[in-house]
Amino acid sequence: MRRSLLGLAMAAGLTTALAPPALAFPDRTINLVVGYAPGGSTDITSRLLADRMGAALGASGRVVVENRPGASGMIASDWLRRQATDGHVLMLVEASSHALAPNAVVGGTRYDPVADFTHVAVVGTAPMIVVAQPNLPVRNPAEMVARMREGQAEQMPFASSGVASMPHLSGEMLTHVIGLGGRFPHISYRSGGQMVESIAKAETQWGVAVLASAAGQVRDGRVRGIAVTGMERFPSFPDIPTLNETALPGFDLENWFAVIGPKGMPEAVTAQINRAIREAIAQPQLRDRLLTAGVAPWTRPNSPADAAAFFQAELAKFRQVVERTGVRLEP
């Protein structure tokens, strides 16, 4: 009996010795993919997050941003679901590609925003902002709505960061609420940065952008901030009113940002990345920089399970918004 026990112990020790050691994560650079061109809100948020997130992952943590623009993040999202599940390829996504598009795009998306991904953490929220060319004779929401109602819609096309983007939906909702839905032509740009620049150069008169895309241009006076789309004024821009408090009571539509990966990521790796993100956005310096950029850092429960539940709730909420407005977007 003693020999049997000794033999079992030796065998167990030999098995342990021969077993390959668990791989440390990360063991190489992590790519944080963005589905837009550089300069827009998602790109800005990703770059603010990447350095702090990498530092929180330890000495081997290095996170680089990779831009894969096209179709308001839908192309990159479809690409992501086919990547390796080891945690070294992630994506910063927003409501446009993972709540709006699956509900509003004719024919739907090639990916399921809930079933096809690992949901890691929510990063923050951001209202949209209605911006206008400084020479346009409107300075507040009431004047903007009056001009839209009195003028010829065909001569006031609105700009956004892309078809099926949150700014696109916000612009369509705005025109629907004032009774002129579908009459204002839509001009699509590859990113929020390009769209805001087009207004600053007077190539377009007005548009809707995620606040993070327009914050710098609004501060510099290159474009005029007319109103934000959330229920409350944004802390960094207290002088810009909401549509809700002025011309359009009840108007409430905000963007959000979250980190996801391909479906099937190991739970331990997912938990490690989640912890790094939560540590990053809890740092006062990053929180201040996000707020300055127009993003309110997430402060609610934020485990991977919380993130997955958030995606499910947002998908249902946007389904109701699309049904209520009747907005449908061609891919």
* More confident site: 298 or 58: 298
Q: 100 and 150 share a domain?
A: no
Range(s) of the domain holding residue 264? 30-125+255-325
* More confident site: 1 or 146: 146
Dist. CA 256–CA 318, nearest whole Å: 12
Q: 139 and 288 share a domain?
A: no
Over range 101-130, report the average pLDDT: 95
Average pLDDT value for the chain? 90
Find the helix packing angle between 267-282 and 41-56, rounded to 10°.
Answer: 110
Q: 265 and 215 share a domain?
A: no
Q: Could you say which of 176, 210, 228 is where a domain stops?
A: 228
Over range 283-289, report the average pLDDT: 95
Q: 151 and 215 share a domain?
A: yes
pLDDT range class, residue 323, cuts 50, 70, 90:
confident
Two tokens at 36? Answer: 């837009």
Residues 6+ apart with CB under 8 A from 171: 158, 160, 184, 186, 207, 208
- Classify residue 138: in a domain, yes or no: yes
CATH code: domain of residue 71: 3.40.190.150
pLDDT range class, residue 23, cuts 50, 70, 90:
low
Outline where the chain has alpha helix (H).
Answer: 2-18, 41-56, 74-80, 95, 101-104, 141-150, 166-177, 192-200, 211-220, 267-282, 284-293, 304-325
pLDDT range class, residue 239, cuts 50, 70, 90:
very high
Helix (H) or strand (E) holding 259: strand 254-262
Residues 6+ apart with CB under 8 A from 180: 148, 149, 153
Q: 94 and 169 share a domain?
A: no
Q: 61 and 147 share a domain?
A: no
Q: What is the pLDDT of residue 190?
A: 84
CA-closest candidate to residue 215, choices 186, 235, 231: 235
Contact 34, 43 (CB under 8 A): yes
Answer yes or no: pTM beyond 0.85.
no
- Helix/strand/coil for 282: helix
Q: Percent of the chain scored above 70 by pLDDT?
A: 93
Instruction: Indicate the number of domains in the chain.
Output: 2
Q: 111 and 135 share a domain?
A: no
- Classify residue 237: in a domain, yes or no: no
- Helix/strand/coil for 137: coil
pLDDT range class, residue 177, cuts 50, 70, 90:
confident
Q: Could you say which of 228, 263, 291 is where a domain stops?
A: 228
